[in-house]
Amino acid sequence: MNAPTTLGAPSWQRYRPALDMLKPGCSEEEARYRCGLMLVRDNAWRRIEADPFGGMRVVWNGAQQAALQPMPIDDLKDCWGAFGRMFLAARQLMDLSDRAGGDDARG
């Protein structure tokens, strides 16, 4: 049997108290995207040192800024999606780099 990937509330919701302090009055939908950006930001931060290309730094910096920027909800949703895709692309490049480095070491 597979274990659940999350327990309780979605992981973005742990950022809601911080968002409420920094930007009170956000709707549930707006909070979902802004907290999602905070989650992407923190996930990128954890990988910055291991990233040989700097993609995680771009994601971290951009998501940090976008999380609190005033913008229409549709733009916020698109921004959250774009940074999520950037994070995945940076992570994939890191994985490819790791595999290439491993092949070089085996000779």
| pTM of the predicted model over 0.75 | yes
In the structure encoding, which two tokens stand for residue 75, read together?
A: 């733009």
Residue 56 falls inside a structural domain: yes
Structural domain range at position 39: 28-106
Residue 46 falls inside a structural domain: yes
Nearest Cα residue to 20 out of 31, 10, 29:
31
- Total count of domains within the chain: 1
In the structure encoding, which two tokens stand for residue 35, read together?
A: 């907290």
Residue 13 falls inside a structural domain: no
Reading the chain (107 residues) residue by residue, the pLDDT tens digits are 344 444 456 888 999 999 999 999 999 999 999 999 999 999 999 999 999 999 999 999 999 999 999 999 999 999 999 999 999 999 999 999 988 885 444 33
Residue 11 falls inside a structural domain: no
Residue 32 falls inside a structural domain: yes
Residue 39 falls inside a structural domain: yes
Residue 4 falls inside a structural domain: no
Residue 5 falls inside a structural domain: no
Q: Collapse the DSSP code of 50 into the 3-class scheme (helix H, G, I; strand E, B; otherwise coil) and give the result.
A: helix
